[in-house]
Amino acid sequence: MLWRSRANQKNFDDDLPLAKLAQGGTAKIKGSIGGGAVQPPGSGKAKGKGRPPGAGPKPPGKKDSSSSSDSSDSSDSSDSSSESGKKKSGATKKAKIRLIKKKKEETGDNEDNSIKKKDRSPKEQVVVDLLCRWWYAYEDWPPEDPAYYEAELSKLSLRKVSIQEWEWVADVDEKGRHKVYELSQFKGLYRKHDGEMVDLRPKDTCPSFNNFMKKDMGELYSKLVLAYENQLKDLEKSKYDEKVLRDSLTTALNRIRLKAQAASEMNYNTGGAPKKQRTA
C-alpha cells in the first residue's frame, strides 16, 4: 500500500475530490503547509460529537443536551428576573398606597380627590355669573379715552414716549417727568425707563369680584339679566348651530328674572312701603 500511495502522489492536487483521496490512502496534497500528510476522512477516531460522513442530515427535533440546557437556564433566569421585577413593582405600589392612607388618616381627609364645586352664597354666585359675561352689561374697560390717561400721567409726573424715539430722548426731561411707553397689548399699562410697571387703569370701575360684591343684589340681578339678554342677541349672529347654548342661556335668564323679581318685592316690602290689604 505504501509504494502504491507514493506512486500516485504525483497525481494528487488541490482539486482532487475527497472520495478519490480516501481511496488512495495517506497522501500529500500540493500546496499543503509544511508538507505534512492529510488523513483521509474516517481513518481515525472522530473527536467531539461530529456525525460520520454519509450519515445524512440531522433529524429534526433532536438538539444537543448542552444547547437545551443552556436555553433552559436562560429561560429560567429570564423568568426569575421578570418575576422579581413584578414583585418589586407590586411592593412599591403597596408601599405608596399605605403612605397615601397614612397621610389621609393624619390629615383627617378620607374622601376622594374629586373636584367639588365651591360653596358660594347666593350673592357670590350672582357675581360669578356676571363676571363670566360682564362686557354684555357694562361699558368697555379699561376706557379708550386718551385724555383720561394723559391726565393720569400728568398726576404722576410721567410723559408718554413712542418706541421709535425711546433711545433718543432723556429719561427725565427738564420738568422732572420720567419717560414711559405704553404696552400695546394691554391698554392703560406703561413701562418706565427703569423697568417699573405703571398701571393707570381705573381700579374703582374694574369688573372684579371685590367691586361687584360691594353692589346690592338688585343692581347685580338687573345687570345679570341685561348680560344674558345681550348675549342671546349676540348669539344670533353666530354662523354655527348654537341651539344647546341658546337653550341653556334662556333657562338661566328666566331663573334670574324670577329671582330679581323676588328680590325687588322683598326690598319694596322692607323699605316701609304699605302692603296691600285684602277687604272682606
Close Cβ partners of 177 (under 8 Å, ≥ 6 residues apart): 157, 158, 159
Q: Please give the residue range of the domain that contains residue 149.
A: 141-199
Residue 195 sits in the same domain as residue 227: no
- The span from the CA of 159 to the CA of 166, in Å, is 12
Residue 95 lies in a domain: no
Rounded to an integer, the average pLDDT of 220-235 is: 95
Residue 217 sits in the same domain as residue 236: yes
Would you say 200 and 146 are in contact if contact means Cβ atoms under 8 Å apart? no
Residue 192 sits in the same domain as residue 243: no
Residue 16 lies in a domain: no
Residue 194 sits in the same domain as residue 216: no
User: pLDDT-based confidence at 9, cuts 50/70/90?
Assistant: low
Residue 217 sits in the same domain as residue 260: yes
CA proximity to 52, closest of 41, 36, 64? 41
Residue 250 sits in the same domain as residue 219: yes
Would you say 209 and 131 are in contact if contact means Cβ atoms under 8 Å apart? yes
The amino acid that residue 168 corresponds to is W
> What are the grid coordinates assigned to 104, written together?
389621609
Residue 83 lies in a domain: no
| Distance (Å) of CA 144 to CA 139, 162, 201, 202, 264 | 10, 18, 10, 12, 34
- Selected residue with higher pLDDT from 104 and 73: 104
Close Cβ partners of 245 (under 8 Å, ≥ 6 residues apart): 235
Question: What's the number of domains the chain is made of?
Answer: 2
Residue 67 pLDDT exceeds 60: no
Q: Which residues of 170-186 are buried (b: 16+ CB within 10 A; e: fewer)?
A: eeeeeeebbbbebeeee
Q: 29-33, 83-87, 154-158: which has the highest mean pLDDT? A: 154-158
Residue 247 lies in a domain: yes
- The span from the CA of 217 to the CA of 209, in Å, is 14
CA proximity to 220, closest of 134, 120, 118? 134
The predicted pLDDT at position 278 comes to 45
Helix (H, G, I), strand (E, B) or coil at 172: strand
Q: What is the pTM of this model?
A: 0.53
User: Which residues, in sequence order, are bridge partners of residue 31?
Assistant: none
- Identify the domain boundary among 199, 231, 249: 199
Residue 24 pLDDT exceeds 70: no
The predicted pLDDT at position 184 comes to 87
- Selected residue with higher pLDDT from 111 and 243: 243
Residue 170 sits in the same domain as residue 218: no
List phi, psi (to 5°) of 204. -75, -25
Round the average pLDDT of the chain to a whole number and report it: 76
Count of CB atoms situated within 10 Å of the CB of 104: 13
Q: What percentage of the chain exceeds 70 in pLDDT?
A: 57
Residue 276 lies in a domain: no
- Identify the domain boundary among 199, 219, 234: 199
Residue 32 lies in a domain: no
User: pLDDT-based confidence at 82, cuts 50/70/90?
Assistant: low
- Identify the domain boundary among 181, 199, 217: 199
Residue 78 lies in a domain: no
The predicted pLDDT at position 92 comes to 82
Residue 192 sits in the same domain as residue 148: yes
Residue 226 lies in a domain: yes
